[in-house]
Structure 1
Amino acid sequence: MFHHPVTLRASAAAFFSLTDSGLNGWWRYTLGVALVLLVGMLGGGLVHWMVASLPLGSAREYLAANASLMTLLLVVLIVHGFLHRRPWRALVTTRKTIAWGRVFQGAAVWGVIMLATVSLESALYPGRYVWSLEFQSWFFFLLLALLLTPLQCAAEELFFRGYFLQAMGRIFRHPFVPAVLSSLLFTAPHLFNPEAAAHGLGILAVTYFTMGFLLALLVLRDAGLELAIGLHTANNFFLVMCFGYKDSPLPASAIFTSATYDPVFSLASVVVGGLIFYAWFFRRVKD
């Protein structure tokens, strides 16, 4: 059983207080964010290009995308440890140990929500998803996804909802301001995804921002990254292995594939699914 502070503001204050230890000069955060953006993201782009040039067959693009995010993960941990002299757990949770059960709960609930969403989409638009399973290829990608997807999502969460959100929390004590700023930063690199170019930046930007804002609220309300990592991992795993679509930024071998990406339905599913997810974990239970 997890006991949460009564309000979002109280739980956010607890999460931001993780930065009270260590070294916190403003120049350290300025340098830290710059290093992560320049070395982690731009360097990750170089790593992506290098891996994509290797003869890795059908897994080349998938491995390249994940390898670039491993660079981000490494840089965040180095910056946090050496520049701020804090243990990496301070990026993750206010609990004494990481609540792995919370990670799996978040993944399970979001997985059910995604399954319901895709079922509704298939009912509303018959024929949109077609059977595309190639078992040998799918099983190979399954092994890769089980290993790489949690690391890829943890890398994004540790930076956007860990390091950057905490940095903004030292400046703006009202939780909504850091949540908005971290969501804007989260949106920016995702606008380079293939589906953004294919379907227009406007609605895709709103979708990415909404997902980022949902994840930030979960972190601040739960005073830890566990639920966000679980949700994010389930989301990406389902898109890679179960319900893929054309122009996916993580091309793999899904069981079902849609020839079209519906940005309006995607945004609606994030909004409604996010409300259900938040209510499931943080609804008030009367004594």
Structure 2
Amino acid sequence: MFIAQAFKFKHDLWRYIIGVIIVIAGVFIGQIPLTVALFMEIGVEEAVTLTEGQMMTALDSNYFLFLMLLSFAVALVFLFVAVKNVHKQTLVSLTTSREKIDWGRFWFAFGLVSIFIVLTTIGDYYSNPQDYQWNFDLIPFLILFVIAVVMVPLQTSFEEYFFRAYLMQGIGVLSRNRWLPLIITSVVFGGLHFFNPEVTKLGNIIMIYYIGTGFMLGIMALMDEGIELSLGFHAANNLLTALLVTADWTAFQTNSIFKDISEPSAGWDVLIPVLIIYPLFLFIMAKKYKWTDWKGKLFGKVEKPEPVHNDDFIY
């Protein structure tokens, strides 16, 4: 069982508190290069008063994207250091309940989401051409492509390993149930997006989408007993979004192929993914990987495994 694997390693509450502190320190250290770049570009007094949206326009978009994603990459390293040194836990056990990481699951989710995003983007472009502006510029796009392919998976991997793995396992072994880590990690994950520019533009209703995304990824991890699917899903979603479509009011303002110039509004666009598209993704994955016992895996108890006795040895 994915959560119960944490029992095999050092799982005291104080260790998780130290681990979270280490990760937060990694985030702040990772933000130093971006802060320094802003200070050098526009000065300290001006930089400290900028909103996130203004920061995006203060630097070249590719340069800003790289520096922004760098903080997640550094935080990922700090998280792995905490897992190895504070908990004495292996990366495989943090990732999956299987004997080794199933990259086939990662690529299935990545491909499924990629196909969906490409088809829906093309469909919307031809249905509403007035909402799009051709934004393609070869050299900036190629630079964006390299940055995105390398750095976006590090950003999404940090979020999945921290929320769907580290905190999911930690809260699960401490609370001895599955529903509490699902709720806490999903709400906190969605809540941290409250400071995104999209919230300012669309209003608080967009938080339904972010928190709903957290629940969908959490359900994926619990039902599949590992985070390979959520790793692939999240990586594809953010990568394709960065490469295909940008807008002046999104967290990723990039040299993408298209630019959305429509006036955004939050309504059914927020509810459709949560109520229709996400359940469809879960249905497809459930059929492919033969998920069963939904009640037990989402709401059941987390039992500490009994030691295995073999002659004079106890495992």
Give the aligned partner of residue 235 of structure 1.
237
What one-letter code is carried by the residue in structure 1 that aligns with 2:188? L
| Amino acid of the structure 2 residue aligned with 1:40 | G
Query: Closer, same or farther in 2 for the Cα pair 1:51/1:157, shift >3 Å?
Result: farther
SS in 2 for 1:130: strand
Residue of structure 2 in register with 1:93 after alignment: 96
Q: 1:184-195 to 2 correspondence within 5 Å?
A: 184-195=187-198
Q: 1:65 aligns with which of 64, 68, 84?
A: 68
Shift of 1:267: 4.1
TM superposition shift of 1:150: 1.2
1:253 alignment counterpart: 255
Deviations 1:220-253 (A, max 9, x none): 1111111101110111011110122222212221
What's the secondary structure of 2:226's corresponding residue? coil
Indicate the SS of the match to 2:259. strand
Contact 2:23–2:79 under 8 Å retained in 1: yes
TM-score (normalizing by structure 2): 0.79
> What is the match of residue 158 of structure 1?
161
Q: Structure 2: which amino acid aligns with 1:188?
A: G
Distance between the aligned counterparts of 1:121 and 1:180, measured in 2?
33
1:23 paired with 2:16, answer no
Q: Does 1:149 align with 2:152?
A: yes
Gaps of 5+ in 1: 1-13
Counterpart-to-counterpart distance in 1, 2:195 and 2:222 = 27
Post-superposition CA distance 1:184-228 (Å, at most 9, x none): 11123211111112222x212111101111111111111111110
C-alpha displacement of 1:52: 4.6
**Letter matched to residue 280 of structure 1:** I
Going from structure 1 to structure 2, the CA distance change for 1:52 and 1:160 (only over 3 Å counts) comes to farther
Give the alignment partner of residue 35 of structure 1, picking from 22, 25, 32: 22
| 8 Å CA contact retained: 2:208, 2:270 | no
1:104-160 deviation digits (Å, cap 9, x = unpaired): 110111112223433454466442122211112111111111111111111111101
Count of equivalent residues: 270
- Pick one of 274, 277, 280 that aligns with 1:276: 280
CA contact (8 A) 1:65 1:250 kept: no
In 2, Cα distance between equivalents of 1:89 and 1:53: 40
- How far 1:254 sits from its partner (Å)? 1.0
Counterpart of 1:8 in structure 2 is: none
CA distance in 1 between partners of 2:270 and 2:145 (Å): 24
When structure 1 is superposed on structure 2, of 48-57 and 166-175 the one drifting more is: 48-57
- 1:61 Cα shift? 1.2
Q: Deviations for 1:33-82, whole angstroms, at most 9, x for unmatched residues?
A: 23323x13333443432355567744221012101111210111111111
Where does residue 5 of structure 1 map in the other structure? none
How far 1:180 moved relative to its partner? 1.2
TM (norm. structure 1) is: 0.86
CA RMSD of aligned residues (A): 2.2
Which residue of the partner structure matches residue 219 of structure 2?
217
Q: Distance in 2 between matches of 1:99 and 1:17?
A: 19
Contact 1:52/1:64 (CA < 8 Å) preserved in 2?
Answer: no
**CA distance in 2 between partners of 1:160 and 1:47 (Å):** 25
Residue 140 of structure 2: aligned partner:
137
Match of 1:10 in 2: none
Q: Deviations over 1:72-101 (max 9, x none)?
A: 101111111111011122211111221111
Q: Which amino acid aligns with 2:233?
A: L
Contact map agreement 1:52 1:60 (CA 8 A) in 2: no
Q: Counterpart of 2:175 in 1: which secondary structure? A: coil
CA distance in 2, matches of 1:229, 1:263: 27
Unpaired segments ≥5 residues, structure 2: 42-58, 291-315
Letter in 2 for 1:252: T
Percent identity between the two aligned chains:
25
